[in-house]
Amino acid sequence: MKPHIGTFLSLGSPAVAELAAECGFDWVLIDLEHGCESEAALPNQLRALSDGTLAIVRVSAPHSDLIGRVLDWGAHGIMVPHVNTAAEAEHCVRCAHYPPRGHRGVSRTVRAYGYGMRLPGDHTPPRPVILAQIETVEGVANAEAIAAVEGIDALFIGPADLSFDLRARQSPKSFDECVTGIVSAAHSHGKGSGILVRHADDKEKLKSLGFTWLAMDSDLSLVREGFRKNLETARSW
């Protein structure tokens, strides 16, 4: 399967979101967990994206009202941090789906339905993409069960949180062992697997492991490194 290549958007800028889409990313992750803007900035970022770029929003927590609003505003899917059990994964799926699969509320006037120009009953609503983040020792242990939940599309590794949790709990498992186990769990249930890539040189190794959702760095990191590089160049004159 050809990997979906995306990037994280933390700055909350519609211009940056539009630029990412113009550059041809398959998907972007708009970050409400660690990003610089609140959910009030989300609608304008979603409007800035072209049709060819999937808009995935990382919610700060699996709250039903937040997940519903994100999808009502036109996001194609969600990423949920710190999914540790199959029950938590099932809760996320139910929040994102209408009955009978879930309990998402219906509104006819939201952006997802053209503010009332396209009624929910007139067509089958698109199935939201749901990425469950595996970021803890507990999540790694339950990766098989999480991947088995109907409606979860991919297990997405949070490398910073997972590395921190492994150290904090003095886990005997290495980070690489956890990564291999998560990818294997996802594949065994026909699900995708993803990870945030900070160094472009790692891309080929991660593709060979079977990752199908690769997020290449973030807007904030790219701006930071660009500033630093330019400053170093200027001061070397």
Dihedral sign from CA coordinates of 102, 108, 109, 115:
positive
pLDDT tens digits, residue range 171-198? Answer: 999 999 999 999 999 999 999 999 999 8
* Rama region for 44: left / alpha / beta (φ>0; ψ in -120 to 50; rest): alpha
Tell me the residue type at 216.
M
Q: Is the pLDDT of residue 126 over 90?
A: no
pLDDT tens digits, residue range 74-94? Answer: 999 999 999 999 999 999 999
Class of domain 4-235: alpha beta
pLDDT band for position 203 (cuts 50, 70, 90): confident
User: Which residues are known to be catalytic?
Assistant: 34
Residues in contact with 170: Cβ distance below 8 Å, sequence separation at least 6, in sequence order = none
d(CA 220, CA 139): 27
What is the per-residue pLDDT for 111? Answer: 93
Residues in contact with 148: Cβ distance below 8 Å, sequence separation at least 6, in sequence order = 86, 189
d(CA 230, CA 208): 34
d(CA 116, CA 122): 11
**Domain-wise residue ranges, the chain:** 4-235
- How many other β-carbons are positioned within 10 Å of the β-carbon of residue 19? 14
d(CA 58, CA 139): 17
- pLDDT (average), residues 129-150: 98
d(CA 57, CA 149): 20
Judge contact between 17 and 41, C-beta under 8 A.
Answer: no
Judge contact between 30 and 78, C-beta under 8 A.
Answer: no
Specify the pTM: 0.94
Q: Find, among 169, 209, 216, the residue nearest to 24 by Cα.
A: 216
